[in-house]
């Protein structure tokens, strides 16, 4: 089981800010911005490079959840960044697709 599967199964504690039948969102333990939440599909998809056509429903739901979560976290009006890492060069550290929702301060470009 990945770290995220263990959080979904409640084997590891997390500060959960949103959950439904398809996704879960919780605060990152090493935040890079005042708001740094991970949004994860409960279905295990290792990374974007392994997405299948059958994953369209869960990925659509994941993306449609982002603006609701941004509103709840107070960054919908000021703006936020959504990041999905893929592979080691992309910064992926857990092999379970997830989105980083970052906000609460101006975010520079290009990212590091």
Catalytic (active-site) positions: 98
Structure tokens at 11: 């084997």
**Would residue 104 be called left, alpha or beta, if left means φ above 0 and alpha means ψ between -120 and 50 degrees?**
left
> What residues form DSSP beta bridges with 103?
35, 80
Q: Residue written as tokens 């392994």?
A: 50
């Amino acid at each position: 089981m990945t770290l995220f599967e263990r959080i979904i199964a409640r084997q590891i504690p997390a500060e959960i800010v949103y959950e439904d039948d398809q996704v879960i969102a919780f605060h990152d333990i090493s935040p890079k911005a005042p708001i740094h939440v991970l949004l994860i599909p409960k279905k295990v998809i290792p990374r974007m490079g392994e997405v299948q056509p059958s994953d369209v429903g869960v990925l659509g739901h994941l993306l449609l959840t982002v603006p609701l979560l941004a509103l709840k976290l107070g960054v919908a009006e000021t703006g936020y960044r959504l990041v999905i890492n893929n592979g080691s060069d992309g910064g992926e550290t857990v092999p379970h697709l997830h989105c980083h929702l970052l906000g609460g301060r101006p975010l520079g470009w290009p990212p590091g």
